[in-house]
């Protein structure tokens, strides 16, 4: 592996360490000392916002879950506390880690970053990830953890934090990370030129190696026709060639009419599978399924939900923690043939509220007992 890549390594920023704590799922203090809304609960939820004073006390998002050979479950995720820059209007912020003995009950791990995070935005304003970071994929290669994430700068465009670019960091223990210095202001790939689908962002990257040794980077963007999943390929994991859009938004009235956003790609039962975040025009979201013979060409598979999704948000108006939308799926195959899917859920907006930061993101778990990726249930339902 080392012989195929020549990387410059840059140390990650370090700051204060906060005390370990479990998410209470209750009222939380905001930056102004006011009580934040109670985080709603319900079937499936396994991790809510952290206690006051931690880096993730406002929200937790995008679980990347691995069950280690040592028996320890590890979940990397991103989030923020109420003091994080509100002009960055997506839920990314910092990255942290939680561990578990069973994948159900999680304990936060103190990292070397701000308020216990394991990776902060870069302290170098010239880097692509100086304003915010968000993890999207972690894997173990030999003795090293590889983390793919996305980030943005503050003042590059009229919208702070955009365009987003993909980055890579390496770690020996999953807690202390070293950034890999990519060729695009530290990033591994640049957004497209004006008019190209990914000019807005190359976000939420996932990199997998094919049987021929080549690499595929799956990511998504947002364009005029909606959220679009895209693909880039590489022979060495460093120099990338874009292959374009790999799945289109669904037809009018479908759960993914407004596009396909976050996703996880994995191999299961001899197929390449993709569980993806399907976005409706009103921004309610469910999880869809697609399959591929080679990881390059994809087709959608109808799921078990009445609307064709593989897994849908909780009923509208139910008050449940995941009644508005689901996203950022992460799949773990179990020894008994079942599957676990960790995901984020968002509650419905209060009257008059707007934007993703007006919801509470939390992390949940769904299971497929027979290993069918088209059919899921919330783990404690």
* pLDDT single digits (tens) 65-77: 999 999 999 999 9
DSSP string, 154-214: SSSSSSTT-SBEEEEEEESSSSS-EEEEBTBTBBSSPPPPTTSTTSSB-EEEEEEE-TTS-
Percent of the chain at pLDDT > 70 equals 90
Count up the domains in the chain and report the number: 1
The reply to whether 149 falls in a domain is yes
The reply to whether 272 falls in a domain is yes
Three-state DSSP at 109 gives: strand
Task: For residue 278, give the CATH number of its domain.
Answer: 2.115.10.20
Q: Give start and end residues of each alpha helix (H) in the chain.
A: none
> Interior CA angle at 350 toward 348 and 351, to 5°?
125
User: 222 φ, ψ to 5°?
Assistant: -130, 125
- Is residue 186 within 8 A of residue 167, CB to CB? The reply is yes
User: 358 φ, ψ to 5°?
Assistant: -85, -5
pLDDT at 311: 98
The reply to whether 361 falls in a domain is yes
Residue 91 φ/ψ region, left for φ over 0, alpha for ψ in the -120 to 50 degree band, beta for the rest = alpha
The reply to whether 27 falls in a domain is no
* pLDDT single digits (tens) 181-197: 999 999 999 999 999 99
* pLDDT single digits (tens) 280-338: 999 999 999 999 999 999 999 999 999 999 999 999 999 999 999 999 999 999 999 99
For the cut 90, the answer to whether the pLDDT of residue 34 exceeds it is no
pLDDT band, very low/low/confident/very high, at 354 (cuts 50, 70, 90): confident
| 86 Cβ neighbours under 8 A, 6+ residues apart | 357
pLDDT band, very low/low/confident/very high, at 103 (cuts 50, 70, 90): very high
- Token representation of residue 159: 């919208």
The reply to whether 32 falls in a domain is no
The reply to whether 20 falls in a domain is no
pTM of the model: 0.90
The whole domain housing 150 covers 8-14+38-378
The reply to whether 1 falls in a domain is no
The reply to whether 29 falls in a domain is no
């Amino acid at each position: 592996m080392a012989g195929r890549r020549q990387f410059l390594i840059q140390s990650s920023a370090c700051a204060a360490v906060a005390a370990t704590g479990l998410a209470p799922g209750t009222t939380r203090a905001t930056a102004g000392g006011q009580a934040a809304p109670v985080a709603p609960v319900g079937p499936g939820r396994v991790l809510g916002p952290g206690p006051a004073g931690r880096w993730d006390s406002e929200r937790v998002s995008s679980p990347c879950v691995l069950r280690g050979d040592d028996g320890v479950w590890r979940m990397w995720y991103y989030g923020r506390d109420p003091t994080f820059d509100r002009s960055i209007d997506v839920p990314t912020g910092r990255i942290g880690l939680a561990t578990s003995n069973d994948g159900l009950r999680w304990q936060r791990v103190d990292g070397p970053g701000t308020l216990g995070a394991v990776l902060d935005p870069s302290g170098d304003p010239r880097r692509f990830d100086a304003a915010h970071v968000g993890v999207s994929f972690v894997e173990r290669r030999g003795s090293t953890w590889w983390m793919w994430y996305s980030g943005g700068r503050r003042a590059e465009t009229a919208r702070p934090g955009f365009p987003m670019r993909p980055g890579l960091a390496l770690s020996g223990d999953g807690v202390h990370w070293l950034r890999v210095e990519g060729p695009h202001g530290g990033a591994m790939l640049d957004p497209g030129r004006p008019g190209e689908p990914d000019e807005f962002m190359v976000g939420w990257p996932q990199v997998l190696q094919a049987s021929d040794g080549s690499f595929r980077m799956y990511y998504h963007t947002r364009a005029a026709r909606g959220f679009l999943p895209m693909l880039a390929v590489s022979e060495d994991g460093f120099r990338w060639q874009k292959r374009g859009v790999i799945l289109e938004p669904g037809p009018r009235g479908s759960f993914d009419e407004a596009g396909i956003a976050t996703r996880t790609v994995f191999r299961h039962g001899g197929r390449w599978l993709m569980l993806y975040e399907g976005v409706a025009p009103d921004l309610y979201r469910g999880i869809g399924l697609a399959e591929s013979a080679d990881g390059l060409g994809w087709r959608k598979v109808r799921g078990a939900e009445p609307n064709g999704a593989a897994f849908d948000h909780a009923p509208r108006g139910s008050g449940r923690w995941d009644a508005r939308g689901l996203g950022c799926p992460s799949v773990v195959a179990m020894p008994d043939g079942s599957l676990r899917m960790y995901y984020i859920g968002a509650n419905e907006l209060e009257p008059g509220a707007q934007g993703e930061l007006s919801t509470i993101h939390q992390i949940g778990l769904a299971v497929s007992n027979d290993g069918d990726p088209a059919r899921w249930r919330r783990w404690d339902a």
